[in-house]
Structure formats: C-alpha cells, structure tokens
Amino acid sequence: MGNYSIDEDYEFDVLKGYDEYYLKNFGTPKLAITRAKGSKVIDFDGKEYIDLLQGIAVNCLGHSNPELAQIIAAQANSLAHVSNFFTTKPQVQLAKKLAQIVGFEHNPRVLLTNSGTEAVEGALKIAKKHKPHGRIIALDHSFHGRTLGALSVTSKEKYRKPFSPLIPDIEFIEPNANRLRDAFSDNVSAVILEVIQGEAGVVPIDADFIKAARKLTQKHGALLIIDEVQTGIGRTGKWFAYQHTDIVPDIITSAKSLGGGFPIGAVITTGTTGDVLVPGDHGTTFGGNPLAAATALKVLQIIERDNLLSQSAQNFPFVKEILENHQNPYVKEIRGQGSLIGIELTSQSAAQVADKALENGLIVNACNPSTIRLAPAYNIGIIELRSALIVLDRTIRQVLDLNYED
C-alpha cells in the first residue's frame, strides 16, 4: 500500500483512547483504521477491507489519491490559510470552476464552506433573508445536516427532539405534487429537497414533484434549494443530480465528494439570489481556505480529465446486474444512480448485514433498517467491485438465511 511514513505507535490502543477521550455522540467506532489506498482499507490489526462506502460518499477518487496528496503538500508549502479579508487564486479558481459545472446561466456565484451542514446553513440564511418570516417546506425523510438550522429542515424526529425548539415555520410534507400545491402560499420562502434522499435509503424523488416544486416556487416568489451534498460532484453520473431533470434550482449546496476527502462545502446561487447576502450577513473563518480550495479544484480537474462522470454513471448498472445475477432471495430492490446505490433487503436486517460484512472484509452501511448503502469511488476497478459484491451477496445470505452453510 505504498510508502507510509507517518509514525505508527502500535502500542497505542486507539479504540480504548477513543472510549476514554472522545465525546459519545457517534457511539463506539466499529474499527480503528490506520491507512488506505484506492478502495482498500487496513485496520490496526492489519486486516484488509474493500471500501464501498468511502467515508459516506466522500472519497470519490478513492483513498490516498497521489495527485491530491501532492496538491495538498504543495499548497501547504506555499499558502495554507488566509482570512476572508483577503482572497487567493485557488479560492477564485474553484468558484469559477463550480460556476462553470453547475450549469446556471445567470450570474452563478459561490460561497465556500467547510461541510455540508454549513452549506445548508448558508442556503437557509439566504432563503430567510430573501423573504423574512416566510415558511420553509422540507420533505419527509429528508436529511440536511446536524447544525441547528440544517437540523430544522431534517425530518427525523429522533435527531430533532433533544434540540427542540428548532427554527420555527418549517413544514414537512410527503413528496407529492398535490400535497405541495396544498401547502403553498405567498408566504413560503423556500423549498429544500434532495434529488435522491441518501440517508433515507437512497430514495429518488419523483421528477414530477421536482417540476412542481420549481413551478410553485417561481409562481410564489420562493427559492428552490437543492441539497446536492450527497448527490453532487459526479456521484450520480452528472456533476449535479438536478441535471438529470429539466429544471434549474436557485441554490444548490455541495460538500462530501467536492473535497475528495478534504473537508469543504459550497453554496452555489443563480440570478439575484446571489445578491441577497451583503457584507456582515454571513461568514466563516475557514471557508474558502486555499488548502481546501486547491484540493477541490484538483478533484474537479481529475474527474473531468479522467472522464469519471461516465465511470461513476456505470457503477449502478454494473452493481445491479451483478447482484441480480446472484438472484439473492433476500434482496428486494436495488435503487440509485451512478455511484450512490441502495440495496433494499426483504427484512430489517441492514445493520446486521453491515456488521457481518465488516467481519467479511467489506465496508458498507445501513442507511435505514432495511437498506444497505454503497457509495464507492467513481474509479473503482470492476474486478474489485465484482469481488466486493460477491462478499456482499454471501454476507446477506449468511445473515438472513437460517439454513446458510459456508
């Protein structure tokens, strides 16, 4: 797995240290990982795993991409950080590149952030200022992040309850065009939605609903915010998932794959939406940091140069075909697009399957009780992907087939 120069103290018990010193919000980590390359990951016992989750849809070029490592080192050696009193070439180059790939014809503008939830905060602040005291419509089963604004438009009661009251005047509706029409009025300031709801179980939202959301927001002077944190930067085979539809939103939010493993997010606006925030309205110390911006720019350049949008697009049909050929009786449905794939099981055993997969040397996750999520690197080799799917098929049978014998 290449040269590894960072000092490894094998005597240091990482999991014990985590238990002792880290906050408890994530629970006990399933593994302590020491290094990784491409789609392979190694834990502290030297055990190898194939990673089909890639930091939950983050490492779109796989682990330890040498070109990203190089740009991070070079940028750190020349200019790692400046305040937002100043600007830098990577910051502006990245904004320009994002403005080009987003496909907004009118006045595309970018704000760089440090994470997905922070991008959503930026979008919500624009929506609230654009129409003060307006309602915001979000969808049932949505996930937009864990900071208080993003949490306010996240539907899951378990995540919301301990922190209520959250931002008021948020209405959750099912993604049904008639329901949206009923909910709409002139005092709606924005609709926020994911084109494919990732955390909900890789559930695509109906194109008719998205079209209705566009029409109604336009009619009532509200903004349409598409949260592309999980689906963006080629994850579904296009730069942004909304580009599979024939609408154009007012704002998109991005993060995850944008940095290929380096923390960064972005809010991208079009038209006059980009004029809503004025000096003093919003800020971030690290957002637009040249180290993050140079890395993200490199990610976009590599995706473009290596034709990875089309490679990402091919992962879903490949996975579907391989899994269908296995005729696993415990697989009910295979959903998704590109490199975001949900495998719905016939029972609520996804967490047990994910745990067993880890034992079998495979990293996947249970994004809801019955769905396994795959978010592989766009450039994963088909031999590696095929062998990972064989492990997954076997794991599902091990967990669900009471008569299973190896």
Q: Residue 115 or residue 328: which is nearer to ligand PLP going by CB?
A: 115
Is 97 a residue that touches ligand PLP (CB under 6 A)? no
Is 134 a residue that touches ligand PLP (CB under 6 A)? no
391: Cβ–Cβ under 8 A, 6 or more apart, which residues?
50, 357, 360, 361, 362
Which window, 43-51, 191-199, 323-331, 332-340, contacts ligand PLP (CB under 6 A)? 191-199
State in angstroms the smallest separation of the CB of 319 from ligand PLP.
20
Q: Residue 42 or residue 239: which is nearer to ligand PLP going by CB?
A: 239
Is 144 a residue that touches ligand PLP (CB under 6 A)? yes
Task: Specify the DSSP element, H or E, that contains 37.
Answer: strand 33-37
Which string of DSSP letters, residue by residue, matches 268-323? EE-GGGGGS--TTS---SSTT-HHHHHHHHHHHHHHHHTTHHHHHHHHHHHHHHHH
266 vs 89, 122, 255, CA distance in Å? 17, 9, 6
State in angstroms the smallest separation of the CB of 130 from ligand PLP.
20
What SS3 class is residue 216? helix
Interface with ligand PLP (CB under 6 A), residue from 229, 241, 340, 367: 229
Interface with ligand PLP (CB under 6 A), residue from 108, 198, 288, 336: 198
Is 121 a residue that touches ligand PLP (CB under 6 A)? no
Is 257 a residue that touches ligand PLP (CB under 6 A)? no
How many residues make contact with ligand PLP (CB under 6 A)?
14
Is 227 a residue that touches ligand PLP (CB under 6 A)? yes
CB contact burial 207-224 (16+ within 10 A = b; e otherwise): eebbebbbbbbeebebbb
Cβ neighbourhood burial of 162 (10 Å; 0-12, 13-18, 19+):
exposed
Which window, 45-53, 64-72, 112-120, 321-329, contacts ligand PLP (CB under 6 A)? 112-120
Q: Residue 135 or residue 144: which is nearer to ligand PLP going by CB?
A: 144
Q: Residue 328 or residue 368: which is nearer to ligand PLP going by CB?
A: 368
Give the whole-angstrom CA distance, residue 119 versus residue 229: 8
The structure tokens 């922070």 sit at 118
Output the residue with the shortest Cβ distance to ligand PLP. 116
Give the whole-angstrom CA distance, residue 111 versus residue 91: 10
Q: Residue 192 or residue 216: which is nearer to ligand PLP going by CB?
A: 192
Spatial CA neighbour of 116 closest among 156, 145, 95, 148: 145
Point out which residues bind ligand PLP (CB under 6 A).
115-117, 120, 143-145, 194, 198-199, 227, 229-230, 255
